[in-house]
Structure 1
């Protein structure tokens, strides 16, 4: 007995019309009729009184209709529950900074899925639940086993303090943090570096305790000259600073990937040269103690992808 026969019968019980049910089930009417006959043969009783119009269910048909409806509901509920549990079991938990979560993670996950599905016999995608948070909370989540992957910016002078005997990483990209401003009518930056003490440049800043705040401090410490800056707004979220910069409230240091469209459209312009920028790595960390199969499979894909992209042309 094919479960499709039960679904055919339930459709027929609802429409009381062979032709409409055949259309609904996307089969020809003769094929649909044969499937109903096959179901009746399996049950050993006629389910439909074909002498009436519209057709009616026999006593056996009414009894089977109730049982079939309940059976399909139970099977559907069980399937949905099992699928949900399977998805949850294979769902990778990722923490990342807000900028990486918005501008890097989606395309990176697509790239991993494409690479995974290129393997012979592999036709499954990685599922992930991402939490956008601070670097402090991200590291804490990884060390306490509350996430599988930590995606973060890295610079040698701004290290991530994770024991290399317990955690490993792969470098998955790079990002440049650059100063940007809304343009004036001529296309020049409204706010530009270096500014001066007598006429300071309005700054959209990060808190000193945030990672991008420390990046900004590192840039200023290595700047070609002492800048004149006046903080007019502060947030630990680059997207908020970007919005303020777009509205002409000051200069902001932002990850270049997050402002590519605005730079291309001329809504934002560079407010300083390369000396006022800083290149960062993008790293993904995992705990060596985490043996989840989904994570192991992703890490193998990640290592293979990293090896292939690092080969000389």
Structure 2
């Protein structure tokens, strides 16, 4: 039994006439007769009985008709899904995310992916940079988003965007009336750094920014993530240097001011396996590159 024989059977069961069925199939009658005979022989049953007007289904043929329809439907579904998967329109993406990226870039990417690839299943996992790198290497994640990625063999790191830096401070701070701040304005100011996990991190960029100006950072708190950092700023416990995406965190009493410096930028990058040729990932990377080239605007713009 093969799929062609089943399809021939369905047409003949619909027409109940060999001549008309052969016409629909664009073949001559003898090949159709042979295929039906072979199908019956493979099953060991008679599916059709001849009548004066053509053929009629036997009881066994009537049962097989229902099952044959299911077989063809399932085969068509499998073929369609396979084609969609090949085109990157179907599948699953496991994505590693972190802190401030979820405030503008990640939502933008997900909205666009949902528009263009609505049948892809998305799983977001909030993980640290080291966890992302290991998970991507071990194929537990397809792609991760973070800052200051190290170079790792077998992995590709792509810059998604460079973000300007801002200073977050309490509304009652003495510097709050200034529209912008210079790095030197942070001298002796109580600083809250994040994240406090395995170095190098964004926190190291902030420290380097001050040290390059000959300043010694006055670090009063080191916390795990940007949410905790801004919460402490809201409580008046210090000020913080944050990426522009963090400006979307509008906590009570917090004000954000651009930091004036050519070096006041930080990357947001993605990492994935060089050998991952998943069509779903390729489609997602296409969206990432459109965001990088500004062909797609961020949801916060």
**What is the aligned-residue RMSD (CA, Å)?**
3.7
Distance in 2 between residues matched to 1:301 and 1:204, nearest whole Å: 34
Cα distance between partner residues in 2 of 1:169 and 1:113: 24
SS of aligned partner of 2:261: helix
* Distance 1:210-1:239 versus aligned 2 partners, 3 A rule: farther
Q: Structure 2 regions of 5+ residues with no counterpart?
A: 1-84, 297-301
Q: Deviations for 1:209-251, whole angstroms, at most 9, x for unmatched residues?
A: 351221212212223x425x43322212111001111121101
1:184 corresponds to: 172
Alignment of 1:1-313 (within 5 A): 90-114=91-115, 116=116, 124-154=118-148, 160-163=150-153, 166-184=154-172, 188=176, 194=185, 200-206=188-194, 207=196, 209=199, 211-223=201-213, 225-227=214-216, 229-260=217-248, 262=250, 267-270=254-257, 273-275=259-261, 278-303=264-289, 309=295
SS in 1 for 2:147: strand
For residues 178 and 185 of structure 1, the distance between their equivalents in structure 2, rounded to whole angstroms, comes to 15
Task: Verify the 8 A CA contact 1:179 1:277 in the aligned structure 2.
Answer: no
* Number of corresponding residues: 204
TM (norm. structure 1) is 0.54
CA contact (8 A) 1:126 1:298 kept: no
Q: Deviations over 1:138-164 (max 9, x none)?
A: 11111121100011224xxxx52123x
Distance 1:296 1:215 in 2: 31
How far apart, CA to CA, are the structure 1 residues paired with 2:215 and 2:166? 17
If asked which structure has higher relative contact order (CA below 8 Å, sep 6+), I would say 2
SS at match of 1:127: strand
The aligned residue for residue 9 of structure 2 is none
- Residue 29 (structure 2) aligns with: none
Residue 254 of structure 2: SS of its match in structure 1? coil
TM-score (norm 2): 0.56
Kept in 2: contact 1:181–1:250 (CA 8 A): yes
In the alignment, is the contact (CA less than 8 A) between 1:153 and 1:280 conserved in 2?
yes
**1:188-223 CA distances to partner (integer Å, 9 max, x unpaired)?**
279995466xxx322212338351221212212223
Q: CA 1:230–1:305 in structure 2 vs 1: closer, same or farther (change >3 Å)?
A: closer
